[in-house]
Amino acid sequence: MKVFDKLLNWYLSINALPYWVILAIDIVICYLSGLFVFWLYYHGAVSPQHIVLLTKTIFMYMIFNLIGFKIFRTYSGIIRYSSFVDLQRVVLAMCLSLVIAEAMHYVVYHWNLEFVRLQGRQIAAMYLVATIGMMAFRILTKSLYDVLFNTDKGIRTLIYGVKDGGVGLAKSIRTDKPRKFLLKGFIAHDPAISGRLLMGENIYLVDDNLAERIKSLKIKAVLVSPLQNERFRNDLKLQDILLSLGVQIFMSPTEKEWSQNDDYTAVQLKEISIEDLLPRDQINVDMDSIGNLLRDKKIMITGSAGSIGSEMVRQIAIYKPAELILIDQAETPQHNIRLMMQFEWPDIKAHTIVASISNYERMEKIFQTYKPDYVFHAAAYKHVPMMENNPSESIQNNVWGTKVIADLSVKYGVKKFVMVSTDKAVNPTNVMGCSKRICEIYCQSLNKMINEHADGKPATQFVTTRFGNVLGSNGSVIPLFEKQIKAGGPVTVTDPNIIRFFMLIPEACKLVLEAGTHGSGGEIFVFDMGKPVRIADLAKRMIKLSGAKNIEIKYTGLRAGEKLYEEVLSTTENTLPSFHEKIRIAEVREYDFNEVNKQIEELIELSHTYNDMAIVEKMKEIVPEYVSNNSKYSVLDK
């Protein structure tokens, strides 16, 4: 027994048996199969002389076995992880060997050789028994290994979703060594399959009794099938059940399409973050057509080190532009972008430039040097409270900076200028939102003017994209809440009724690229942000997700210029459908460029006086719908 235990421990300790060991075992199986068939055929009447001659005969036919083994590589698999594909290789190898053996049998049958003469059906029987033996060896080895490791160790787990995704994931976690998850059942919404068995485990219905079942089964984790990500995000009831019970939730890290034959592995799952739990529809964009437009072009991205800008760099780099001209005034984040480009896309010529968009002379030198084909303008000051206290900076960076880049785009023949705007520009109630609305007005009026004077020549097309908050961006509410929860609270929310629209950064950037490349100029594209999220509810879910106890939510009151809700479209605007179901075109009133340009130049000149009241008063003159909310500038609205 000690010798057996040592051999067993040695076998279990190695990753895989060497090829020659598997091959030797298969050869022995083939040899014993031949002896068995001969013994069976002659009813056990076998003499030593017969065995010697029979051995020669079997060895001759085993040459054909080796041909099949070599072609189908039956010895290359890891026996303890054998699958249907491995068994299929064995069958194919033995079928090929049998065909060769039968052909050779009839060729040499009348030769005078010292071999035991076998009939065709005996040869077929010998190969059939050998095939069964080799398959049995693999199945028994795998079963023995599974039995030895079939313990209750591992996280007790349910899988959300059945059919292809759930079954594939279940198979994966059962073969993982060492085992991390211990499958105890499936969760589904279909009452017709509730209570049935799948892979020997129960299917549980999502209903009012699910929480008690999870408790009784001592479930500690739920794995979401890759094909059920979107449905799970929108199943707030199930999320609340799992979070309230402290169950860990794991989801697929990407939104790619999984075909029926894809492999599902637990390694591809990650523990959820709050972004995974917010209800939203999946956004599908034709990135190939976008890539065809941007490939081999010179692309300028302002604000390239920011949340939106850096993601646009990643998405555009995939399609091999001729050059990337990346501009940002934040030195350290821009250095990180430079390192990313060197490491991930070393073949792309990327110019990472530290510069301010409000420096006209510096920007003109950059345009002269690189002559971009497309400009994606994402650089802007965006924090409402900061800009409320610093309106001059908002004008000099957001308005003047946009005017600089827009004017230079026209001067140096840029094909298309795409500006990233915000939902705060709609019926603005704060300085930041109004500054972005002024940028929109300038770009639209400039587009109208240059087209009127183009005389048939190609003119720069100005396109604006407008959307709400992006999840996980620099300075957004989610990183703030995470920091407050880690510190033990309180989590600060301005108002219990405040709501916001959210979108993932990659999804927002895809829509920017889609709208930007397909727009014909002059449009303001409005993104469908999905369902609004109550910030207080977001805070509660983040606290549950963290597992923290006794974290207080403190309501601090609306900040200066802050709305209870953000509008995607103003009440004076209508929308038209576009080329994408998630993108609509805002119908807005047109402005005369000369009048707008004159007012903006006056505003920029006024910004250098740093007279906050005078600056904001001028902004309200340009954008009459700008009505301050909870702000010192409210006196200007009376």
* Residue 176: pLDDT over 80: no
Q: What is the DSSP letter of 172?
A: H
User: Phi and psi (nearest 5°) for 183?
Assistant: -70, 125
End-to-end CA distance of the chain: 96
Q: At what angle do helices 236-244 and 535-546 cross, to 10 degrees?
A: 40
Residue 138 is predicted with a pLDDT of 78
Q: Cis omega before residue 321 (within 30°)?
A: no
CB atoms within 10 A of CB 349: 13
pLDDT, residue 106, reads 67
Highest mean pLDDT among 509-518, 570-579, 595-604: 595-604
Query: Which pLDDT band holds residue 370 (cuts at 50, 70, 90)?
Result: very high
User: In the chain, what are the domains?
Assistant: 2-149 (no CATH), 155-272 (3.40.50.720), 291-470+503-529+567-632 (3.40.50.720)
Structure tokens at 462: 């100005």
**What is the length of the chain?**
638
Q: Which residues contact 313 (CB under 8 A, 6 or more apart)?
A: 301, 304, 324, 326, 337, 340, 341
Ranges assigned E (strand) in 263-403: 270-271, 298-302, 323-328, 349-354, 374-377
Average pLDDT over residues 532-541: 82
Complete DSSP assignment for 388-434: HH-HHHIIIIIIHHHHHHHHHHHHTT-SEEEEEEEGGGSS--SHHHH
pLDDT greater at residue 33 or residue 595? 595
Identify how many contiguous H helices and E strands the chain contains and give both numbers: 23, 22
* DSSP track, 104-161: HHHHHTTS--SS----HHHHHHHHHHHHHHHHHHHHHHHHHHHHHH-SS-SEEEEEE-
pLDDT in tens, 310-321: 999 999 998 899
**Is 435 within 8 Å of 387 (Cβ atoms)?**
yes
Residues 55-111 pLDDT 10s: 777 777 777 778 777 877 776 766 666 666 777 777 887 888 778 777 776 666 555
Cβ atoms of residues 354 and 331 within 8 Å: yes
Residue 493 clears pLDDT 50, i.e. is over it: yes
Q: How do residues 400-424 score in pLDDT, each as one tens digit? A: 999 999 999 999 999 999 999 988 8
pLDDT of 386 reads 92
Give the per-residue pLDDT at 519: 80
Mean pLDDT of 575-588: 70
| Residue 502: its H or E element | strand 502-504
Q: Where is pLDDT greater, at 171 or 12?
A: 171
Q: Is 534 helix (H, G, I), strand (E, B) or coil?
A: strand
Q: What is the pLDDT of residue 595?
A: 93
The answer to whether 428 touches 623, Cβ cutoff 8 Å, is yes
CA nearest 498: which of 415, 400, 564, 571?
Answer: 564
The half-sphere exposure of 257 on its side-chain side, counting CA atoms within 13 A, is 5
pLDDT value for 570? 42
164 CA to centre of own chain: 20
Mean pLDDT of the chain: 80
Q: What is the mean pLDDT of residues 175-185?
A: 77
Q: Name the pTM for this structure.
A: 0.68
pLDDT at 202 over 90: no
* Residue 258 banded pLDDT, cuts 50, 70, 90: very low
**Of 269-273, 514-518, 596-600, the least confident:** 269-273
Which of residues 15 and 632 earns the better pLDDT score? 632
